[in-house]
Structure 1
């Protein structure tokens, strides 16, 4: 189980707002906190969690592989933090000899709605806005209304045209799923739980679909923490 703290914001009303959240991670996944303790968490992943490397990596290349993974995780963490990220979740152990290309981020959302507007009304409005080439569905998370948005994302051609060759070769279309939910007893505060994966390179494959289902199952374990 993973637990994370939420930064407390001042409120004009005394409410029993949660101190954080909890969720159950799949085997081999880890949490990287983004507000503090990021460096220590990455060091722990590098030297304690990543005891295995994919098949085909020579023993004398294992440390270089881990360092490359560390740089990639640092890049993801910086990008997530710039976008209001609280926590980054990544798979760090190979499954079937390969590393999964997937991640999800829990982040604060600058929706900025009036505290008097019921969350259900905000979610209905967001659902009505729709998602280009995707779906927006009203769901329930931790016993409260939430929104699930699912879509596909392809790298922008203009971005790829100026990117290095190595970046162009690794830039893949991705399946994305995002849950948007209000913070319990935190008027006007919202978070998102956003998942992204290129799967096995085929966005319609059974394997890619299983990864999306895995993320939905993780969100199903989400609970607010009051301790």
Structure 2
């Protein structure tokens, strides 16, 4: 399943599971497929979408900036793919002269694959478990029940000591929002949409909250694709 999968035509009246999904991205964001076409998407982003560079970077350093970004994007893509990722989404154009530090991943989840469990029961159980220092609640996504979890991931000494200068962003405290969504008419299949941002360095700031609202608005456009 991906954002652009297709399927053969089914008989009239047949119940079929979706083959993919669709969502509307904010201006300046791009999708990086993780199962195939990753290299081509990175090339397109780095040499087409990223013709702009943040303020303060000399023109002579633009290529070095793009290469550094490529290494970071490749690292993010590999990590997301290892965790069942289908697609990685992130801002690729600066806003107000800066690049937003935010991303979200659409991934498959191994929930109920060994034993088919009613989807509503899974959502209720996950919501009842709660989230330490966060919230978990049932919401509607694409007209059906889903789960939304919101929480903060604080900076720890372990993260700080293990993060190199090149990946220091991973060591920052982050605001995280996860959606857990069952695939209709396909028991045992679930996807998650996982958002993460350090915001402006304060995960409880108004700016960080605006980024979370932007992500929630994107999830509000989510719908299943059958073609």
TM-score normalised over the length of structure 1: 0.91
Runs of 5+ consecutive residues of structure 1 not aligned to the other structure? 8-13
1:77 aligns with 2:77: yes
Report the RMSD for the aligned CA atoms in angstroms.
Answer: 1.9
Counterpart CA distance in 2 for 1:18 and 1:165 is 42
Counterpart CA distance in 2 for 1:69 and 1:6 is 31
1:185 aligns with 2:195: no
Counterpart CA distance in 2 for 1:130 and 1:47 is 43
Name 2:10's counterpart in structure 1. none
The answer to whether the 8 Å contact 1:15/1:186 transfers is no
The answer to whether the 8 Å contact 1:180/1:193 transfers is yes
1:215 aligns with 2:215: yes
Deviation digits for residues 190-212 of structure 1 (CA, Å, limit 9, x no counterpart):
00000000000011111110000
1:154 aligns with 2:154: yes
1:86 counterpart SS class? strand
In the TM superposition, residue 154 of structure 1 has moved relative to its aligned partner by 2.0
Name 1:64's counterpart in structure 2. 64
Residues 1-227 of structure 1: matches in 2 within 5 Å? 3-5=3-5, 15-112=15-112, 114-115=115-116, 117-164=117-164, 167=167, 171-227=171-227
Change (3 A) 1:160 1:6: farther
Counterpart CA distance in 1 for 2:163 and 2:28 is 32
The answer to whether the 8 Å contact 2:159/2:171 transfers is no
In the TM superposition, residue 184 of structure 1 has moved relative to its aligned partner by 1.5
Change (3 A) 1:48 1:162: closer
1:31 counterpart SS class? strand
TM-score normalised over the length of structure 2: 0.91
Displacement over 3 Å in runs of 4+: 162-170
Aligned residues: 219
Runs of 5+ consecutive residues of structure 2 not aligned to the other structure? 8-13
Counterpart CA distance in 1 for 2:169 and 2:189 is 39
1:211 counterpart SS class? helix
Counterpart CA distance in 2 for 1:169 and 1:222 is 28
The answer to whether the 8 Å contact 2:34/2:86 transfers is yes
